[in-house]
Amino acid sequence: VVLGNGTVVEATNTTNADLFTALKGSQNNLGIITKFDFVAFRQSDLWGGTATYGSKTVPEQIKAFVEFTKNLKNDPYGSLIFVWSYFPSIPKESDRIVILNLYEYTANLTGPVTTYPPPFKGFAPDSPIGPPITDTLRVDNLSSLTGELNSPPELR
């Protein structure tokens, strides 16, 4: 990492660990990252997809999201992208806010998954949020799941 004063430092989970942790969300505000070392591994199929909820679930969504983030250290296999969208073309004003939750769970799962994996229990259909309006949740490969992120230009 090249710091603002021109110093070049290494940042790992053991060397400059505080910088290493902070860089994950800093978007290059703490320095310019000039090199990445990582280990590649074969990923089996994973659980994930998109679930769509109406605006009436907002209070419960926020509570579930807070609990999800509190428990990340207990189950690092969960990933959640929380998207709030506004669709002015929907006739009923109270229905124009739509919440899209993009879930991924990377722990090895076998057989059909009939319930939400542990980190997502707060979002499950039997939670206070209730069932999603629509969902594409399934066990599938990573490229298929990430393909759902390719929104048309007018929705980006």
Residue 111 is predicted with a pLDDT of 62
Distance of CA 72 to the CA centre of its chain: 11
Residue 36 is predicted with a pLDDT of 84
pLDDT averaged over every residue in the chain:
86
Residue 26 is predicted with a pLDDT of 77
Residue 152 is predicted with a pLDDT of 55
Would you state the structure tokens that stand for residue 80, as one six-digit string?
């959640």
Residue 97 is predicted with a pLDDT of 86
pLDDT band for position 94 (cuts 50, 70, 90): confident
- Arithmetic mean of pLDDT, 66-93: 88
- Arithmetic mean of pLDDT, 60-69: 94
Helix (H, G, I), strand (E, B) or coil at 52: strand
| CA within 13 Å, CB half, 153 | 0
Residue 133 is predicted with a pLDDT of 92
Residue 156 is predicted with a pLDDT of 43
Sorted by sequence, the CB contacts under 8 Å of residue 48 that are 6+ apart come out as: 79, 102, 103, 104, 105, 137, 138, 140, 145
- Arithmetic mean of pLDDT, 42-54: 89
Instruction: For residue range 13-38, list pLDDT tens digits in order.
Output: 899 999 998 888 777 788 888 988 88
